[in-house]
């Protein structure tokens, strides 16, 4: 009997929590009303309480319009997913190259590990508030560019939601996910994922336009970043924590809306990782022909998922260079037909 109980406990740890991933809409978060940004958060009360402590140490979302956006008449769109390693990735060089090769084509960047610096980040916060250790290219004196300055330099529309504070009380930075685009974006959404180790907030928006023959197209784009390890499970079982976060995101994205979901999924087990396997089931047009590693030439952590009309055609390839980041960009192309 003791052996049976032991095996049951081990199985429970290794299989993780199969429930507790449902998300619910909030009326407002820290003064940001639902008519500005649609907010979603886990229905599990324990997750919400933990997320509130992390949220207490970050600044508000950033929304930046641009007067220099392209007209949205196009037969193709380029969508990039990239973990920029807190400013280490040279986004300006990358975008300049993309625009040179794909002139006048709509370009949407789904970015992870971008940061913001300045007065928008609170200098004081509650004693029980949580924050992350300071990371990377955002260190004082470095050449990194924060998300606000980056969007201004590129002349792009920007939407950024911080997931966590980048360092303790002396820091004036937070970090999270962002969407940059050279066309207009609308229907902004922020999705707090089920809590595992750190607060993770996916960001979503809608882009639309017409083809050169006048046919309308509309696309939801989502940028996310899952936990790499989880506090409540051993490292080998962290796969199931990521799967729980992925389930929450996928369940929220259910429907027939054409959608591109990009991000750093931290899939230590690549295309066999449970987070990838479950997400791909909900995004059947996801191409997997380019299976090269994206992280330091060793692991495939990053993915672009597609759920599209049958007539549209999608591709996804890994860039040949990392442009200073520890992750290589994934470059997706969608042809509207």
More confident residue, 72 or 308: 308
Which pLDDT score is estimated for 35?
Answer: 65
What number is the average pLDDT over the span 158-167?
96
What number is the average pLDDT over the span 161-179?
94
Q: Are the C-beta atoms of 303 and 262 separated by less than 8 Å?
A: yes
Q: Is residue 22 predicted with pLDDT exceeding 70?
A: yes
* Domain architecture of the chain: domains with CATH: 2-335 (3.60.10.10)
Count of C-beta atoms within a 10 Å radius of residue 103: 7
Please state the separation of Cα 124 from the chain's center in Å: 27
Residue 50's pLDDT band, with cuts at 50, 70 and 90, is very high
Q: Is residue 3 predicted with pLDDT exceeding 50?
A: no
Q: Is residue 30 predicted with pLDDT exceeding 70?
A: no
pLDDT tens digits for 235-245?
556 888 999 99
The interaxial angle of helices 147-154 and 91-101, nearest 10 deg, is 30
Which pLDDT score is estimated for 28?
Answer: 66
What number is the average pLDDT over the span 183-210?
96
Q: Is residue 140 predicted with pLDDT exceeding 50?
A: no
What number is the average pLDDT over the span 303-329?
96
Give the β-pairing of 107-117 and 157-165. Answer: unpaired
Give the β-pairing of 23-26 and 38-42. Answer: antiparallel
What number is the average pLDDT over the span 91-119?
93
Which pLDDT score is estimated for 19?
Answer: 52
Q: Is residue 55 predicted with pLDDT exceeding 50?
A: yes
Which pLDDT score is estimated for 15?
Answer: 42
What number is the average pLDDT over the span 293-311?
96
């Amino acid at each position: 009997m003791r052996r049976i109980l032991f095996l049951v406990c081990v199985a429970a740890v290794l299989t993780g929590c199969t429930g507790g991933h449902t998300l619910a809409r909030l009326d407002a978060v820290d003064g940001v009303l639902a008519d500005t940004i649609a907010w979603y958060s886990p229905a599990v009360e324990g997750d919400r309480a933990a997320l509130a402590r992390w949220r207490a140490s970050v600044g508000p979302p950033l929304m930046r319009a641009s007067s220099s956006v392209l007209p949205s008449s196009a037969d193709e769109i380029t969508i990039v997913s990239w973990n920029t390693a807190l400013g280490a990735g040279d986004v300006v060089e990358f975008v300049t190259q993309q625009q040179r090769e794909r002139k006048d084509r709509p370009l949407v960047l789904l970015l992870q590990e971008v940061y913001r610096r300045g007065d928008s980040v609170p200098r004081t916060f509650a004693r029980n508030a949580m924050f992350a250790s300071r990371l990377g290219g955002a260190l004082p004196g470095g050449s990194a560019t924060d998300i606000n300055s980056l969007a201004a330099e590129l002349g792009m529309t920007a939407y950024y939601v911080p997931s966590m504070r980048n360092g303790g009380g002396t820091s004036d930075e937070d970090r999270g996910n962002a969407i940059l685009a050279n066309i207009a974006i609308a229907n902004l959404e922020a999705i707090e994922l089920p809590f595992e180790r750190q607060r993770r907030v996916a960001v979503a928006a809608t882009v639309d336009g017409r083809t050169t023959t006048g046919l309308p197209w509309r696309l939801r784009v989502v940028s996310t970043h899952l936990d790499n390890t989880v506090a409540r499970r051993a490292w080998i079982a962290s796969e199931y924590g990521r799967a729980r976060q992925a389930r929450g995101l996928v369940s929220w994205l259910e429907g027939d809306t054409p959608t591109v979901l990009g991000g750093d999924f931290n899939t230590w087990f690549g295309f066999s990782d449970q987070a990838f396997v479950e997400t791909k089931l909900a995004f059947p047009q996801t191409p997997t022909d380019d299976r090269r590693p994206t992280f330091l030439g060793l692991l495939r952590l990053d993915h672009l998922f597609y759920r599209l009309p049958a007539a549209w055609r999608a591709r996804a390839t890994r860039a040949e260079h990392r442009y200073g980041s520890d992750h290589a960009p994934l470059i997706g192309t969608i042809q509207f037909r």
